[in-house]
Structure 1
Amino acid sequence: MDRETLDRLYNNRAAVPNHQQDIDRWEAASRLTRERALCRLDLPYGAHPRESFDLFTTAEPNRPLLVFIHGGYWQALDKSWFSFVADGFTMPAAGGLANVAVLNYPLAPEADMDRIVASIRRALVWLWREAAPLGFDPNRIYVTGHSAGGHLTAIAALTDWTAQDGAAPVDLVKGGVAISGLYDLLPIRSCYLNDRLRMTGPVAIRNSPQFMLPFHHGGLPPLAFAVGSDETAAFHGQQHDFVKAYAERGGQVTEVTAPGMHHFSIVHELARPDSQIRSALAAMMR
């Protein structure tokens, strides 16, 4: 595709003219969550100012941990806008199913894609190591993320964790849900987004889950993949191609198309108790 077409297909704000309503809803819901939840904010997992997370906990000890990675095309947004995700897991009304860590990570253009991916891996190893004092089960860590966070969720599923930390289990990540994810970064390199990301071809390839699969050794964790019915063809195509490749490599796959949802509204499905996305995560955790 030419750049004009790619720019259109990956420009979610242009595709959803009223996107600000959803962003405002994220922020308002998150403020309310922080007011009523058991939480610890701005906990560091690394040296960079954005290497931090907010932890939302259940009333019960030793529950699983769900790690949420926000989107923003690797160059925008903040964890504080997504506290509401915890509502679907930590609250008594949600069965106190799991603790939730909402991550920040360094952003482009300050950080390149290699550094962003390294930061997410560092966060997950740090959380695994610190599970006991933080009060969750280190053997039940799950990951979910939206858009760029969906890409980073897939990266986490494909990471060789023993190469990150010799003491870490191969299956440090037990499963997850990638929402509106990006699994092949070559189209991203060819559109307006790369003006700030500045990926070269080799950087795009080595950080694309689609191209990591043939070189992945060992078992793949179960993953669910979700996209909104009203998202652009680019996101449906990205999910279709990666789901096919993941299943062909032996991965257990659940695929969800959320009816009536676009790129911004679909995030709220994590907090809705009866949504297919939340149910997919709950089934893995149980």
Structure 2
Amino acid sequence: MTKTRQELDSGYENGAFILDAQSYADAWEAASAEFRAAHDGEYDVSYGGHARAKFDLIRPEGTPKGLFVFVHGGYWLQRHKDDWTCYGEGALSAGWAIAHPGYPLAPEVRISEITAHIAQAVTALAARVEGPIVLAGHSAGGHLVARMAMAGVLPDAVAARLSHVLSISPVSDLRPLLELTMNDTLRLDAAEAAAESPALGKPLGVPVTVVVGGSERPAFLDQARWLAEAWGAEQIILPGRHHFDVIDGLRDAQSPMMQAALG
């Protein structure tokens, strides 16, 4: 039986299925503001011509072990880099420099243009911090960091420094989004959806870990599995975690996802 658009939309709706969902967003913002206030850093550094094309960079004491970049989600439609600073806590405590790039959102830009912005941000950050580069991203950010692990996206010299990609609750195949109401804003067509789908492409050979919460929506369990299977990547399923708390392990250097990412 053919699903209605409302039923299709429901498959990719997270907040409506999480108790007191807004409290999670409020907590992200508050904790991140506190984290920035407690740490000196380079904030709102421009890497491109757009007002949102800015990144934050915080260095540990001493020489960084490398660079840890977190790319936020929000279905390429919403959220801001400032909402997520605290999720660099685990990497910073482990001696890594941490960065949070912002990027322009749909409908002003298409997803392929957002991919290009993240590549530009990672390249600019790589010029500021030596050593290995770990990329982590959540939801749409999980899609974007996976795209960085594909040929022809990052400059060769930067791609060669990637030591791990941590794709958390990613959207790895964009084709199902073509039928969703959000695509009225994303403006994906079939060609872009296929080209921007990591699960349909080939990785560079960089180690990749796909993380998903065991209590996430079935669509996200599928999306994570599709990427892990297509790329032969390690998959971590966190029991009891949903789409809004699956990222909590980023704040703990000893969590399974951080142990996988930082080695």
TM-score w.r.t. the length of structure 2 is 0.94
Identify the residue that residue 261 of structure 2 maps to in structure 1. Answer: 281
Aligned to 2:146: 154
1:263 aligns with 2:243: yes
How far did residue 169 of structure 1 move?
Answer: 4.8
Distance in 2 (alpha carbons) for counterparts of 1:17 and 1:108: 27
Q: Distance in 1 between matches of 2:189 and 2:161?
A: 30
Count of residues paired in the alignment: 261
Identity %: 33
Q: How far off its partner does 1:282 sit? A: 2.0
Tell me the residue number matched to 1:250: none
Residue 81 to residue 12, structure 1, CA distance change in 2 (3 Å): same
Deviation per CA, 1:178-220: give whole Å up to 9, x if none: 001011001112112212101111111111111222xx6xx41
1:89-100 alignment, distance < 5 Å: 89-90=91-92, 94-96=93-95, 98-100=96-98
Q: Is the CA contact 1:56–1:99 (under 8 Å) kept in the aligned structure 2?
A: yes
Residue matched to 2:36:
34
Q: Supply the distance in 2 between the matched residues of 1:95 and 1:65 (Cα, whole angstroms).
A: 11
Alpha-carbon distance in 1 for matches of 2:123, 2:181: 33
Q: Is contact 1:42–1:53 with CA below 8 Å preserved after alignment?
A: yes
1:117 maps to which residue?
115
Which of 106, 123, 126 is the equivalent residue of 2:124? 126
2:230 to 234, 239, 245: 245
Kept in 1: contact 2:214–2:241 (CA 8 A):
yes
Structure 2 distance, partners of 1:124, 1:238, is: 24
Alpha-carbon distance in structure 2 between the residues aligned to 1:273 and 1:27: 21
- In structure 1, the residue corresponding to 2:241 is in which secondary structure? coil
What aligned pairs does 1:198-237 form with structure 2 within 5 A after superposition?
Answer: 198-213=187-202, 219-237=204-222
Distance 2:85 2:168 in 1: 17
Would the aligned equivalents of 2:70 and 2:100 in 1 still touch at CA under 8 Å?
A: yes
- For 2:53, the equivalent position in structure 1 comes to 51
Residue pair 2:210, 2:227 contacting (<8 A) in 1 also? no
CA shift in 2, pair 1:107/1:177, >3 Å: same
Shift of 1:270: 0.5
Structure 2, unaligned stretches of length 5 or more? none
CA distance, structure 1, for counterparts of residue 165 and residue 50 of structure 2: 26
2:165 is the counterpart of 1:176: yes
2:173 alignment partner, SS class: coil
The answer to whether the Cα contact below 8 Å between 2:200 and 2:230 also exists between their aligned partners in 1 is: no
How far apart are residue 85 of structure 1 and its match?
1.2
Q: Secondary structure at the match of 2:243?
A: coil
2:249/2:257 contact within 8 Å kept? yes
- Distance in 1, matches of 2:167 and 2:9, equals 22
Residue pair 1:57, 1:100 contacting (<8 A) in 2 also = yes
CA RMSD of aligned residues (A): 1.6
Is this contact kept in 2: 1:88–1:273, CA < 8 A?
yes
Contact map agreement 2:28 2:86 (CA 8 A) in 1: yes
CA shift, 1:171, in A, is 2.0
